[in-house]
Amino acid sequence: MIKLLGLLLVVGTGGMLGLQKAKQLQNQAAWLAALEGFLRSMQTEIRYLAPPLEQLLSQLYAQPAYQSLTFLSGTASYLGQMPFGQAWSRAVREACSHREAKQVLLQLGGELGNSDIDGQLAAIGLAEERIHMLLESARQQSREKGKLCTAMGTLLGTLAAILLA
């Protein structure tokens, strides 16, 4: 009886690990969606209000939809110590785990504050397009690989239980 419970726990653990990986894929897509929305909001704010970048980042980070973008608070905290571009780059390097999105954000940080409004809007628009492509890819991976991860976790848990039995 105890052995059977142990084997069921092994199968369940495998399934949970698969579900965890599937959730990780969903979270990555959600983070990219928040980033895309942030870039869109940033573009709109700059186009119509042209606030200082420090104020804009603080204002947008205060919105619940962008709380997952922790590089924004990191940028704000570094602004007293270094120029905007350096603060942005440092915060992105520390907080962004998505490799391709990190590259896009680092390139964008080099443009923000270093060009006129039209240049900044063009840079944000380009970054938004690239993030949108990454988002679509992440959503597709989540759909395709999410089910696979769940099934593989359960199957590997079952295999481990069979080998232990």
User: What pLDDT digit, counting tens, does each position of 30-64 carry?
Assistant: 999 999 999 999 999 999 998 988 899 889 999 99
**Mind listing the pLDDT tens digit for each residue in 78-130?**
988 999 889 999 999 999 989 999 999 999 998 987 888 999 999 999 999 99
Place of tokens 């954000």: 105
The H or E element containing residue 42 is helix 2-48
Q: How far apart are CA 8 and CA 12, in angstroms?
A: 6
Q: What is the per-residue burial (b if ≥16 Cβ within 10 Å, else e) of 33-46?
A: bbbbbbbebbbeeb
Q: How far apart are CA 125 and CA 128, in angstroms?
A: 5
